[in-house]
Amino acid sequence: MRIHAWRKDLADIGLAGQVFAPHYARPLARSCGAQTTMLRPNPDAQGGAISQLLPGEEFSVLEYAGGWAWGFSAHDHIVGYVEGIALADPIAATHFVCEARAPVTPDGSLASPVIAHLPMGTLLQGHEEGACLDTEYGCVPLSHLRRLDDPEADPVVVAERLLGAPWLDGGRTADGIDAAGLVQLALSLCGVEAPRLLDQLPALGTPVPEQEPARRGDLVLFEDGAGLMVDDLLMIHAGCAAGKVTVEPAAPFAAERRRIPL
């Protein structure tokens, strides 16, 4: 089940009375640690990926077994397996990374070496000290962050920060991202909850009549893809054929447009 945590032997207790399972489990709140981790349909590190958890994002665990955690991503309810070692205690996030990557240094000194990078969408808990946020990972420049109560205003601007990022099935970062992942990430940084899977996107927003001109930020849906209109002619999307996030004329692709309230 993609968005309902149910197996023949175990199910989320929230589904009791809706589906039958010999055992039900109450979700245990965990979060993705310092490294992104793939959410997979099976407990197999070499298998495909459904999605990707970003640092700080919550994962609801229903079972730990064989080094894997089975459960669902709390923000979009995608069900799957993640490696148990990738999970940590949940945090009360205060900020999120708004640039493609945010550098992490041991302290706030300009001379300090960069020890890691955090991807766009990472959730962080910390306190502001000068021009940095002091977190459990180290210091992150505030210029790469926004407070949770101060979302972005334009999802297209967000998506454009990922131009050139390679296409990756299940990916959600500048190191690899897919079509629905780009749309979800761009909208989420603007405070708009968006589904993770392509076939869920038609439920988002409201249809735009075919004769009405496209507006910046309109969701474009087409076979095997999705994107956001940059203006009335161009869209930005993570294209499998192009192999990266790119801006292209929408006309050859567009089958449906939907208006997203921001």
Res 259 pLDDT > 90: yes
Domain boundaries, the chain: 11-88, 95-147, 155-259
Q: Which long-range contacts (CB under 8 A, 24 or more apart) does 194-203 make?
A: 194/76, 195/76, 196/50, 196/51, 196/73, 196/76, 196/78, 197/2, 197/78, 198/224, 198/225, 198/226, 201/226, 201/258, 202/256, 202/258
Query: What is d(CA 181, CA 93) in angstroms, rounded to the nearest whole number?
Result: 21
Res 1 pLDDT > 70: no
Q: What is the pLDDT of residues 85-121, one digit of tens each?
A: 999 999 999 999 999 999 999 987 877 899 999 999 9
**The pLDDT of residue 210:** 86
What average pLDDT does range 38-53 have in this prediction?
Answer: 94
Q: What is the pLDDT of residues 163-200, one digit of tens each?
A: 999 999 999 999 999 999 999 999 999 999 999 999 99
Q: What is the pLDDT of residues 197-255, one digit of tens each?
A: 999 999 999 999 988 999 999 999 998 899 999 999 999 999 888 999 999 999 898 78
**The pLDDT of residue 112:** 87
Token pair belonging to 252: 């050859």
Res 134 pLDDT > 90: yes
**The pLDDT of residue 153:** 97
Percent of the chain with pLDDT over 90: 89
Token pair belonging to 139: 């210091």
Burial 129-145 (b: 16+ CB within 10 A, else e): eeebbbbebbbbbbebb
Domain 155-259 has CATH 3.90.1720.10: yes
- Confidence band of 158 (pLDDT split at 50, 70, 90): very high
CATH topology assigned to domain 11-88: SH3 type barrels. (2.30.30)
Handedness of CA 109, 111, 112, 114 (dihedral sign): positive
DSSP state, residue 5? -
**The pLDDT of residue 46:** 87
